[in-house]
């Protein structure tokens, strides 16, 4: 099993839908419908990324930025090359 990867995400809460918008300047941009209240937006982001990457939710963690729009996400057990195939301009 691979050790995983870390990357930055710029999150837009109350974005109308849960989706990944793409990569801008090496940072993954995502939006979730959940508001930034009681950690709801962060939980929605982690679910979204787990679904996008096809990994269990427990393998996706928020390691920095819980209170801000820019977050650092760690994904365990995923090959960094697979992330770069999905989002080629992502900075790991």
Could you tell me the CATH number of the domain that includes residue 63? 3.30.1200.10
Residue 91 lies in a domain: no
Number of domains in the chain: 1
User: 88 to each of 43, 69, 82, 83, how far by Cα in Å?
Assistant: 25, 22, 9, 8
38 occurs within a structural domain:
yes
In a domain, 55, yes or no: yes
DSSP for 5-71 reads EEEEEEEETT-SS-EEEEEETTEEEEE-SS-SSTTHHHHHHHHHHHHHHT--GGGEEEEE-TTSSEE
Each residue's pLDDT tens digit, 34-77 = 999 999 999 999 999 999 999 999 999 999 999 999 999 999 98
Q: What is the pLDDT of residues 75-91, one digit of tens each?
A: 998 889 989 999 999 99
The pLDDT score that the predictor gives to residue 16 is 92
| Residue 47 belongs to a domain | yes
**Domain assignment of residue 92, yes or no:** no
Q: What is the pLDDT of residue 82?
A: 87
Confidence of residue 1 (pLDDT cuts 50, 70, 90): very low
* Enclosing domain of residue 68: 5-86
Question: pTM to 2 decimals?
Answer: 0.93
The answer to whether position 56 is within a domain reads: yes
């Amino acid at each position: 099993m691979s050790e995983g990867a870390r990357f930055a995400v710029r999150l837009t809460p109350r974005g109308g839908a849960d989706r990944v918008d793409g990569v801008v300047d090496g940072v993954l941009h995502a939006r979730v419908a959940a508001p930034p209240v009681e950690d709801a937006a962060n939980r929605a982001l982690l679910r979204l990324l787990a679904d996008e990457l096809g990994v269990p939710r427990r393998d996706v963690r928020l390691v920095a930025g819980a209170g801000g729009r820019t977050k650092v996400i760690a994904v365990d057990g995923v090959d960094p090359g697979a992330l770069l195939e999905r989002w080629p301009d992502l900075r790991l």
